[in-house]
Structure 1
């Protein structure tokens, strides 16, 4: 019996079933249409077109003239079917139609596309459809569309298309899909003089072979498919292995010199290879020199001497290893808070004199060294102190070796500089000796202009009780910045993004987007226009075309259509906000009700928690898949909340987490749930459960330990239950350095004896994010405290909530203890 043949047959049957199932799902599952716009701009940047999907096999092509503020439909599915019926014998207008490879010629005003392997052009002005024969150039290109790379593999899937092969040989041909890993999967065969069309995606690669093992090349799917005729075999090109080891060189800007590393030392080598000098002699592999950068004039270079630290191992045991009958021990290096870290010492080398000098710059003891040259002779070094309470930008002059501090920012809590900020603290300009600096020194995250030639100068670009979230673009010639910010609209959710333009000196702040929702923008190629898209959890996407200079509305484009979802009974989450523990600050979240929610009935509440300080976590934009479908179908009301201690509000709001991760905003969350229950009578605050993964797992257990009077059941997956046992970079930022008593105060393990309520712990035994012993030690502490709880070990799994099995066990656990 040929097991290989049988296994391939089984694979193809399963693959065919999966494709048919996916296709059926696509045709029957309710969807929201016009969620996105993908504009194709004209060369002069004043016009664009895009395709709207209006339903299964239903579409329209939209043309927009930005200069005139004109939007119009060029053609749609029903119109195109009518045209096809007139020119194509036997065409059934009621049949399902797949059109591929749309394009629009702005000058000729014609649409081109492919239908059933035939090319067509539609003249918009004449309202006329014609069959289009490919030009000689197109035909030649298509007939010889074989890829040069015989090792090519499928790339990320583009749009749906098809690929058609015509067999002009006398042998049976086989066509195979080459997946992203380079593996060949046979799909079908083509008889001599026959053709075969295969659904695919643009970017996917197919290979043709014959029944005698002959090779005809690899071909890539294209958005505008034309038949590919297969004539003659070709020789498969084999990838040549490099016979010489790769040597890394850092070339000087003038091209004369190269730096090479050799056994921990730096070797200076002329580009021609006829001169070699040893710049250092005291380095060795355990204490090497590391090149940092050439000066722009090639007269000097900067390097660091590295004092490496080999972090200790953490271990995981794979109890259900795939091979053999013994468990398998895994280990990897892992830095814990307080561990010694690799340090970098600064050195300067003069190329002409061959002098070496240790520089009076602070040793880098957290992160990696970075330099930025501000002139031929000066460079700056950013330095974040370990513990994240001080940031400096220090300038060094290579001629005098003197240093001066440009920026020195300190705080009593933390400077958010790792795990999450979407804007680097320093953003250097190219046309001037200035930088845009990001700081929360005012109590809110804002932009500042720093003159590098005037230490201490820091002029606000933005200011106010709101938060800058992202720099979209910087125009140094006009000295303007386009950025995204949140919190400027008191009548909106303070996390909603809006976009603005402002001058470097802080004048002429202009809002470029408008609408009650969270916005994203896409510029025209020359940035004269922008497409403004916004949505909320309860509002599908709205698209508008705006002037990118002053934000004025040019014309509305689309409003997403969610009628199918509504008819299917789909419900949007309900946004809710109320004041937190201070009686003033608004706390925001969402509520997801069961489809059959009845105010006269009582429903238990589940909180999905993740209070990591690196972000906010409540969704703000629309999506067409259901939120918490399994939980709401089981009879639970699910809430998600951003309490104090999370990001993108004021510095004071964020600082609540400082040396206090056990807080997790739980006092705010309790008040929020109680206020929501006052408005929605079906919410039963005597039956509240909570669950989370990773930091959320820590938060869920903390809820029972420190707020067991309110939360009565919790499920915690892969939790970080003691911050002394988790990664240094995360925990030293929020909990401080050196490690002190605050770590113990936030430890679930140290407070295990306080457990009230019902607890289910889950952990993947191969978790390499949060070491699983964090959960194991909590289990040990709970046993020693004689506490009742449930524990689920997930063999062979990593940092996870347990997947579908874990979800089922979690819902079952809450059913048992909250009785929906």
Structure 2
């Protein structure tokens, strides 16, 4: 059964629409409920409420007291329907019963919501429902509710509420909405002693003025309706200028000087007088000086002299332009591996005395230069060498111009720095001259504490055969780190994320999440509590409230409900793992079977491959959409696998890709499929196809070139078929620098004569990611090798898997070559 997600703007149970009159009952697709908790915390951070959407016209409000660990239901749709009928609120029980703008007042224990354009309040303690009235409004004067900031503007929360203005003056008042850009939009007027109730949203700002130009303030909508009596004019505050205005990012911290760039040279200009000084005279527009930063004490300037390189161009031809009868030639500057890159050399300018020094710091010839000030007179410069085998962090003293190396990390393979690391290698601390450093020098990605004064004393913070994946926060006062890691649970998928806290000295490593799945967390405002949510591809999200102190479970919240999906025919993939090429390392992936899968029958297998070393690629979280619906309906079993050479396992696991992108983990993938076929006997390993896009396109072709005895058919879309023809930054990270014979060894083009099996190549003629000539040259090489293959050029398309047409052709191709 096919189903789709309707294009509704839904925020976890509340459907928002700018005009409630246009709302209509819409048929919704089957879905999973309780996918996410969106808490609305009390001001003291000890309580929160949230809404569960449970289907069409079905919801509930849940209240949680985090201090005592209690969870209770406040109201739900069924109860509200009963109250509406009992109180004759024009509801017959059969019509649609959608509620909007639900909110909860912690002090008065009332829920409010909008139904059929009417606002209602429900007293939870008395179990009473009544129409919204003046007695339910928190009354105040303009003095008590007026915002301090007279330039406040609206923030969009999407939560409905109401604000009432009562005119206690003798003048005609005008009320205006202040939008998120700060613009005033007049809505109407209020006569003396009249009141105006205005539907609005929490966070929206309204301004009151009178007919004589008087100003009464700006007011913000709250979760509970409020009423404001407008009485006295107030003086509109003028915008206060900073004591030492910063003219721009190029002005000194003390505000006295400004750096300007003119014709490639740097000029020092006083912000208070006409004083002006030329810092450089030898710069040129094609060889300029570039300002990098002021010292914190405003006494020194750091700049680089830029030796730019204009990269050569790559071209695409738009053959089927929408207008005219001529093709359009497009071009872009594009650096290929081995190309010369822009270089930056370091310069120091002292203000008093006037000095200019070229610094003995490593010039930057990959990426853009960066600096970080470690004191008023010292700064550090990070430097990655071309080829990513060396990282240095060098400190320089502006007073002495002396430099010394703090970190010099080298690798026989690569240091992962481009395309993928989810957090910085260097995390500088503000309260001490230290940094949290990330390294794989132990064979696993871990955290280290580096004293910048004594860098030789690098102390490990985390260690073991597992991987730090993310730094969530660093608490310098308590000297603790909260981070995410994977691989610490031997009984779980090694890619599942869990969250931990640890002291700077490595002690008291505390796990803050629990459950077999990959986790995400959300903190209370004061970070004393966290909502821990985890899921798997075969498990809907599970939500629990935990303590940030020790990870202790405070109370369970929700478990995702996917019964509606299951009844509609949805099936989750099967997670499978088996040993890779070394006979020990577990390789993880998933299998999706046809709905009518019969173990006694034989099914061809398709592998969806993407072996880019910048990540892992097998999904780990629950999703509601059908898995590989078109492929399984066509009678294929589909697998997706993370073989060796991909990221977030050990350094050795990752290093398999080094100088060797043709490997793509294919030896592990073949063993995995064979092992899976021993358990699921309907998998026919004599009929295995493979497909992918971009790096996956390269991988798919490599499967036929280097493993043609196993893979029988492949479809490759927009593939990078020779790493010398793709972007420098990505390919030099894994294939290194300079270019050597290993580039040719991994080239699909150079090995075209090895093709076995059936191949379909697709490419978008306007691909600006991987130049399409990579595919064209492979076509040329296959023709010269007298190989049979299919080629589909996609006019007007860019970097793509082919879209709907390409998908249809791909499935048709596999049916032709893999079905009996």
Q: Same fold (TM over 0.5)?
A: yes
The alignment partner of 1:624 has SS state of: coil
Tell me the alpha carbon deviations over residues 754-796 of structure 1, each in whole angstroms, 9 at most, x when there is no partner: 0000000000000000000000000000011111000000000
Per-residue deviation, residues 659-691 of structure 1 (Å, max 9, x unmatched) = 000000000000000000000010000000000
* Offset at residue 333 of structure 1 (A): 0.3
Q: Which residue of 2 aligns with 1:617?
A: 617
Provide structure 1 residue ranges, at least 5 long, that are not aligned to the other structure: 1-15, 141-147, 165-177, 183-198, 206-219, 227-246
Question: Following superposition of structure 1 onto structure 2, how do residues 82-231 of structure 1 map, counting pairs within 5 Å?
Answer: 82-133=82-133
Match for residue 718 of structure 2?
Answer: 718
2:81 counterpart residue number: 81
Q: Distance in 2 between matches of 1:20 and 1:651?
A: 59
- Mapped pair 1:631 → 2:653: no
- Change in CA separation of 1:640 and 1:439 when aligned onto 2, cut-off 3 Å: same
Q: Residues 138 and 225 of structure 2 are in contact (CA less than 8 Å); yes or no, is this contact kept in structure 1?
A: no
> How far is the alpha carbon of 1:88 from its aligned partner?
3.5
**1:35 aligned residue:** 35
Flag the 1:708–1:53 CA change in 2: closer, same or farther, 3 A.
same
Distance in 1, Cα, partners of 2:725 & 2:114: 59
Q: What are the within-5 Å matches in structure 2 for residues 295-444 of structure 1? A: 295-444=295-444
1:251 is paired with a residue whose SS is coil
- The whole-number CA distance in structure 2 between the counterparts of 1:670 and 1:22 is 53
Counterpart check, 1:554 vs 2:588: no
Alignment map for 1:679-758 (pairs within 5 Å): 679-758=679-758
State the shift of 1:221 in Å. Answer: 13
Matching residue of 1:167: none
State how far apart, in whole Å, the 2-side matches of 1:415 and 1:559 are: 41
Any runs of at least 4 consecutive aligned residues in structure 1 with deviations exceeding 2 A, and if so which? 19-24, 86-90, 133-140, 158-164, 199-205, 220-226
Match of 2:478 in 1: 478
Equivalent-residue separation in structure 1 for 2:783 and 2:24 (angstroms): 51
CA distance in 2, matches of 1:256, 1:592: 66
Q: CA deviation at 1:201?
A: 11
Q: What is residue 797 of structure 1 aligned with on the other side?
A: 797
SS at match of 2:711: coil
Return the alpha-carbon distance in structure 2 between the equivalents of residues 21 and 761 of structure 1.
48
Measure the CA separation in 2 of the matches of 1:87 and 1:563. Answer: 34
How far has the Cα of 1:83 moved from its partner?
1.2
Distance 1:416 1:261, change over 3 A: same
Aligned-residue offset at 1:93: 1.7
Kept after mapping to 2: 8 A contact 1:117/1:225: no
Contact 2:447–2:460 (8 Å) recurs in 1: yes
Deviation of the 1:86 alpha carbon: 2.3
The CA deviation at 1:56 is 1.1
Match of 1:499 in 2: 499
The answer for the alignment partner of 1:592 in structure 2 is: 592
Aligned equivalents of 1:417, 1:293: Cα separation in 2: 24
- Check conservation: 2:762, 2:802, Cα contact below 8 A: yes
Q: C-alpha distance in 1, partners of 2:90/2:21?
A: 26
Cα distance in 2 for residues equivalent to 1:137 and 1:770: 63
CA 638–531 in structure 1, closer or farther in 2 if over 3 Å, else same:
same
Query: Which whole-Å deviations, capped at 9, do the CAs of 1:526-569 have from their partners, x for residues lacking one?
Result: 11100000011000000000011100000000000011011112
How many residues are matched?
Answer: 731
SS in 1 for 2:401: coil
Q: CA deviation at 1:342?
A: 0.3
Query: What stretches of structure 2 of length at least 5 have no aligned partner?
Result: 1-16, 143-149, 164-178, 184-198, 206-219, 227-246
Which residue of structure 1 aligns with residue 196 of structure 2? none
8 A Cα contact 1:114 1:225, kept in partner: no
Q: Distance in 1 between matches of 2:293 and 2:57?
A: 56
- The separation in 1 between residues aligned to 2:204 and 2:647, in whole angstroms, is 40
Structure 2 CA distance for partners of 1:286 and 1:810, relative to 1, 3 Å: same
Alpha carbons 1:102, 1:224 under 8 Å: kept: no
Indicate the larger mover: 338-347 or 129-138: 129-138
How far apart, CA to CA, are the structure 2 residues paired with 1:478 and 1:353?
Answer: 41
Q: Deviations over 1:37-96 (max 9, x none)?
A: 000111111100000011112100000000000000100001011111223443112221
Return closer, same or farther for 1:159/1:800 CA change in 2, 3 Å cut-off: farther
* Shift, 1:286, TM fit: 0.4
What is the deviation of 1:371? 0.4
Q: Provide the C-alpha distance between the structure 1 equivalents of 2:615 and 2:357, rounded to a whole number of angstroms.
A: 42
Q: Distance in 1 between matches of 2:359 and 2:614?
A: 35
Q: Alignment partner of 2:494: what SS? A: coil
For residue 27 of structure 2, give the secondary structure of its aligned residue in structure 1.
helix
Write the deviation string for residues 477-530 of structure 1: whole angstroms up to 9, x where unpaired. 110111100000000000000111100000011111110000111111111100
What's 2:257 paired with? 257
Contact 2:659 2:736 in 1 (8 A): yes
TM-score by length of 2: 0.85
Distance 1:223 1:720, change over 3 A: farther
| SS of residue paired to 2:654 | helix
**Residue 537 of structure 1 contacts residue 572 of structure 1 at CA under 8 Å; is this kept in 2?**
yes
* Preserved CA contact (<8 Å) 1:161 1:224: no
Contact 1:249 1:259 in 2 (8 A): no
2: CA distance, partners of 1:333 / 1:204: 45
State the TM-score, normalizing by the size of structure 1.
0.85
Q: Which residue does 2:766 correspond to in 1?
A: 766
- Aligned equivalents of 1:64 and 1:634: distance in 2? 48
